[in-house]
Amino acid sequence: MGAAAWGDEELRALLLDAPTVMGVETIEVDEFRIRMVARTLPGKQFAVGRELRTRVAVAFRREGLTVPAELDTDQSTGSFG
């Protein structure tokens, strides 16, 4: 996931280095949390965070995993603020 984000020219312009998946933080009956760290240019953390969450949700849906409705999308937002 981080390598793909780093490979996207538009998103890479907002990143200081490739995002890193730190691992699974929690696993519950109906959810799990994964920690991802991305260092961004000042003021761009929210736009980058939204884009990365969208990309993760799309990847999960592609693999048949259910994601919350607010992340349920078929494509990246393409808006990096």
Total tally of structural domains belonging to the chain: 1
31 occurs within a structural domain: yes
Give the global pTM.
0.77
Q: Give me the domain span that covers residue 52.
A: 2-71
For residues 15-19, give the mean pLDDT: 96
The dihedral through the CA atoms of 68, 74, 80, 81 has a sign that is: negative
| pLDDT one-digit tens code per residue, 24-59 | 999 988 888 889 999 999 999 999 999 999 998 888
78 occurs within a structural domain: no
Instruction: Give the separation between CA 44 and CA 25, rounded to whole angstroms.
Output: 24
**Residue among 51, 39, 52, 58 at smallest CA distance from 80:** 51
80 occurs within a structural domain: no
77 occurs within a structural domain: no
Give residue 21's pLDDT.
92
